[in-house]
């Protein structure tokens, strides 16, 4: 997995690409640290570039949500497609995280 971050005022966009799996734990931890340190209240994970996510990847997304919500920040997932969208639906992640098309 690779990620790119851009901040525009009160909104932070993190664009993810590739595959989000257990092996990406270190990168995700670094990404979460940047999210926590950002002054933006609205944080958006743009996941349209992700081609695959496994259960560990879902868990890391939930950890990111927990970390930013402790700071009263909102996390939104945007642009899921294909296998990633199916996994989010089956896992019913939309019950705990805002998901936008």
Instruction: Sketch the domain layout of the chain as residue ranges.
Output: 2-100
What integer pLDDT is reported at residue 38 of this predicted model?
Answer: 94
What is the CATH architecture assignment of 2-100? 2-Layer Sandwich (3.30)
CA distance linking residue 95 with residue 41, whole number of Å: 20
Q: pTM above 0.75?
A: yes
- Token pair for residue 79? 């642009």
Rounded to whole angstroms, how far apart are CA atoms 47 and 15? 6
Q: What totals of helices (H) and strands (E) does the chain contain, helices first?
A: 3, 5
pLDDT in tens, 51-83: 999 999 999 999 999 999 999 999 999 999 999
Looking at residue 9, what is its pLDDT?
Answer: 87
Which residues touch 52 (CB under 8 Å, ≥6 apart)?
18, 19, 20, 21, 83, 84
pLDDT tens per residue across span 2-54:
999 999 989 999 999 999 999 999 999 999 999 999 999 999 999 999 999 99
């Amino acid at each position: 997995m690779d990620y790119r971050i851009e901040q525009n005022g009160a909104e932070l966009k993190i664009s993810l690409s590739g595959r989000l799996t257990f092996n990406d734990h270190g990168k995700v931890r670094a990404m979460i640290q940047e999210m926590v340190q950002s002054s933006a209240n609205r944080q958006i994970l743009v996941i349209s570039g992700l081609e695959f996510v496994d259960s560990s990847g879902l868990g890391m997304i939930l950890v990111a949500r927990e970390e930013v919500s402790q700071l009263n920040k909102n996390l939104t997932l945007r642009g899921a497609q294909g296998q990633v969208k199916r996994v989010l639906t089956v896992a019913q992640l939309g019950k705990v995280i805002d998901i936008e098309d």
